[in-house]
Structure 1
Amino acid sequence: MKAKTLKKDKVNIITLGCSKNMVDSEVLSGQLKANEIDVVHENKKFDHNIVVVNTCGFIDKAKEESINTILEQVEYKKQGQLDKVYVTGCLSERYKNNLEEAIPEVDAFFGTMELPLILKQFEADYKAELLGERLLTTPKHYAYLKISEGCNRTCSFCAIPLMRGRHVSRPVDQLVAEAENLVKMGVKEMMLIAQELTYYGLDIYKKRMLPDLLNRLADIKGLEWIRLHYAYPTKFPLEVLDVMRERDNICNYLDMPLQHASDNMLKAMKRQITRGEMEDLVSAIREKVPGICLRTTLIAGFPGETLDDIEELKQFLAKERFDRVGIFTYSHEEDTSAYALADTIPQEEKERRAQEIMEFQQELSYELNQEKVGKTFKTLIDKKEAGRYIGRTEFDSVEVDNEVIIAGTAPLKTGEFYNVKIERAYDYDLEGVVVK
């Protein structure tokens, strides 16, 4: 495309939000590069002249961050530092008309499924033969593998189906080919992501195909860790756990957002499950895969939530002792069914409740980590920082879970595995030494 400058265009992609957005940015980067367009991600040098902002529209804070980032880039354009600003992603999908009216300086807005239209802005062609090939924004030893798009669930608080559409699974062969390509690039750990992992395959194969997919991926030589994120608890396919137990390179790790534990809240959230059913599921999971690491995510401050509901949630956490817990405060999202409910809990109170729950969980996390002292774990080195190496065990995913801090002068290689004996444990981190 023609730009104001005579030099060749250079595109900087800024990614906000979740790992699913990150994969979208990586795919866009791969397509641009294949069309011989210079592309970078989160460029700090500011030697680019075009920006693509990949936005998040999940909750209020994410929307605010996305809008501020767009406005910041528009200001650079006004100052003559940029030629073009494009916006894509979830916020753009959901509020395109409003954004076009509010920020006319943006050259074009695109939805979540409009990659070919973005490429047209660069007079570039969508190259179908590149399916699965992308430029990684992560360190080369791990990557995310998005196995499906969209969601058919009707949780009352969630706007994701409005932004990502209905569930669409990617074919098994396509995913295996992408994974094989990533392993050739040096990837040793793959994190499977989707809006809802356990629904995978129902749309195109008429049955839940996650166990079959896992077996195919586990056969790939050089793929040492496969990790499961975002599993929905209702009608959870327990045969997934049989594969996890049988295959050495599938991490004994499951990220299963439960959102709450009070039956009143679960019903209001339209989660299609009760506390008792969740307890039975957790018990069945731990029976099938002893020692499994369970991560969950919760919401505080949903309309109608009482202090008794919070106490019930804490009792549930005390009983089930999840290894990892994250928490969001409720965001009142228009066009969701919960939007019809009165959002009467002040933001400060939502945050206080979230903090109360996290402090409660913090004590449990400390106790669980203490149990690891003296034990040795296979550990993947992610980086070197301030003279120390930072790694993770199979029970820890990137950015959201424990890190293993390894002291000592012996040189370690990033992206390699070492046996690390844990010597000290804290609320959310472990310290250890490499052993033979």
Structure 2
Amino acid sequence: MNQNKINIISLGCSKNLVDTEVLMKQLDANQFQVTCEEENSDAKTIIINTCGFIGDAKEESVDTILQYVEAKKDGRIDKLFVMGCLSERYRDQLEREIPEVDHYFGKFDWKAIVGELHKEYKPDFKNLRMVTTPKHFAYLKISEGCNRSCSYCAIPIITGKHISRPMEDILAEAKSLVEGGVKELLVIAQDLSYYGYDLYDELKLAELVQALSEIEGLEWIKLHYAYPTQFPYGILKVMRENPKVCRYLDIALQHSSDNVLKLMRRGINRAKTTELINRIREEVPGITLRTTMLVGHPGETREDMEDLKNFVQEMKFERLGVFPYSNEEDTYAAINYEDNIPQEEKERRKEEIMLIQQDISLEANKKRIGQELKVLIDRQEGDYYYGRTEFDSYEVDPEVLILKENSILKIGEFYNVKINDCEDYDLFGTVI
């Protein structure tokens, strides 16, 4: 066993992963040997970065904690620390119910974690990370928290109000990442739309992205998790005119029915949503839109579901995911509404939307056949190389599959690929 080695288990979203990478850099700077989710690790200290967003994620976090509690009982590890969203929200309860954990920390308690390990937090490393993704791309988090008041969402309860990171800090981190070999930045936040307003009294997403694009060596920038209300329209000109900014936008809409949008407290209606989507597509020709929908919210009727199905069919989003409503304690919905739609019905409604989207995705993919696209190669597996176009983000979107027998390709490099076939969610191509 390695007494100086720490293995971090990072659960949940990409924003959580960035937090893990920040902590890893601090531990590395303090001469620890640090790994992320290493299988069969000989580390004697385990840190679990938990997720506490929805029921399934909380269950996974608790199960993972219990798994390592058993490892501690068996003598396979010495120390077990828990941090992140679940610990931030339920620390007192966790301390009572799983006392075998050596220490619980909040979501951003890097300094306390380093101190508990008898080392010193290093402020000079605040904009540096140990990247755990393939070295050619990285996530870049530009803000924390959220000022919105969506009925179903526990994020503001966990992370607090929206706090934009200063632009100079973001640019310093981005430059460091690019110097380390990153070619693609996946810009993330709980709410991209609000970036900058709390610091500069105006929305600054467009200015930030333009500044990022000027970093030498960076080739792609993708934007994730915009909010439809108070949308920063200035970003559309940057996307249209700047070749480094991918024609890709992840914007969570959640629903189309005026009734459900009002119950969700989204601050928008169907007509304004349609107007927004049409304007985005008009100002950025060829853009790919990714969105998510939430079904089974309290008060959602069959009429609301028909409205949503019609909306999805009408708007034909290139990428779409669906989540069944999860009743999260202390949220507005949990306090004020009755969660009276059975889980089986929520799942059935999810499948209704995904069946529609499957056909839409296939039709969108068929239109790519014959096109020549720039593809970034992520990995090699089995008989294929797997890559992505500017219209696809890591893990959540379709991939381009290229037969190994036809080409010898390098991971992390760009290639021009002619698309010659497709499935519902993937493309097949040949390097030109």
Counterpart position of 2:370:
374
Q: Are residues 1:151 and 2:146 paired?
A: yes
Q: How far, CA to CA, are the matches of 2:29 and 2:390 in structure 1?
A: 35
Q: Are residues 1:342 and 2:349 paired?
A: no
Counterpart position of 1:142:
137
Counterpart position of 1:187:
182
Q: How far, CA to CA, are the matches of 1:10 and 1:329 in structure 2?
A: 39
Runs of 4+ more than 4 Å apart: none
The DSSP-based 3-state class of the residue aligned with 1:396 is: coil
The DSSP-based 3-state class of the residue aligned with 1:203 is: helix
Q: How far, CA to CA, are the matches of 1:85 and 1:8 in structure 2?
A: 13
Counterpart position of 1:392:
388
Deviation at 1:46, TM superposition (A): 2.1
User: What TM-score, normalized by structure 2, do the two folds share?
Assistant: 0.98
Out of 414, 418, 421, which is 2:415 matched to?
418
Out of 297, 300, 315, which is 2:310 matched to?
315
Q: Are residues 1:324 and 2:324 paired?
A: no
Q: How far, CA to CA, are the matches of 2:347 and 2:54 in structure 1?
A: 14
User: Where does the alignment leave 5 or more consecutive residues of structure 2 unmatched?
Assistant: none
For 1:19-418, list aligned pairs within 5 A: 19-339=14-334, 340-409=336-405, 410-418=407-415
Q: How far, CA to CA, are the matches of 2:333 and 2:60 in structure 1?
A: 23
Q: How far, CA to CA, are the matches of 2:210 and 2:148 in structure 1?
A: 26
Per the alignment, do residues 408 and 69 of structure 1 end up closer, same or farther by CA in structure 2, a change over 3 Å counting? closer
What do the CA deviations read for 1:57-106 (whole angstroms, capped 9, x no partner)?
A: 11000000000000000000000101011000000001010000000000
Q: How far, CA to CA, are the matches of 1:408 and 1:309 in structure 2?
A: 47
Aligned partner letter, 2:403: A
Counterpart position of 1:428:
425
Deviation at 1:408, TM superposition (A): 4.1
**Identical residues among aligned pairs (%):** 55
Q: How far, CA to CA, are the matches of 1:104 and 1:366 in structure 2?
A: 50
Q: Is the 8 A contact 1:142 1:187 kept in 2?
A: yes
Aligned partner letter, 1:419: N
Q: How far, CA to CA, are the matches of 2:238 and 2:156 in structure 1?
A: 29
- RMSD in angstroms over aligned alpha carbons? 0.9
Deviation at 1:45, TM superposition (A): 2.6
The DSSP-based 3-state class of the residue aligned with 1:400 is: coil
Q: How far, CA to CA, are the matches of 1:237 and 1:54 in structure 2?
A: 32
What do the CA deviations read for 1:293-347 (whole angstroms, capped 9, x no partner)?
A: 0000111110011111111101111111100001111000111100121000111
Deviation at 1:8, TM superposition (A): 3.2
Aligned partner letter, 1:353: R
Q: How far, CA to CA, are the matches of 1:218 and 1:401 in structure 2?
A: 23
The DSSP-based 3-state class of the residue aligned with 1:245 is: helix
The DSSP-based 3-state class of the residue aligned with 1:207 is: coil
Q: How far, CA to CA, are the matches of 1:240 and 1:425 in structure 2?
A: 31
Q: How far, CA to CA, are the matches of 1:113 and 1:181 in structure 2?
A: 21
Q: Is the 8 A contact 1:408 1:433 kept in 2?
A: no
Deviation at 1:115, TM superposition (A): 1.2
User: What TM-score, normalized by structure 1, do the two folds share?
Assistant: 0.98
The alignment covers a number of residue pairs equal to 430
What do the CA deviations read for 1:198-244 (whole angstroms, capped 9, x no partner)?
A: 10001111110101101100101110000000000001011100011
Q: How far, CA to CA, are the matches of 2:229 and 2:421 in structure 1?
A: 37
Q: Is the 8 A contact 2:251 2:290 kept in 1?
A: yes
User: Where does the alignment leave 5 or more consecutive residues of structure 1 unmatched?
Assistant: none
What do the CA deviations read for 1:174-196 (whole angstroms, capped 9, x no partner)?
A: 11111111001000000000110
Aligned partner letter, 2:94: L
Q: Is the 8 A contact 2:372 2:416 kept in 1?
A: yes
Aligned partner letter, 2:153: C
Aligned partner letter, 2:276: L
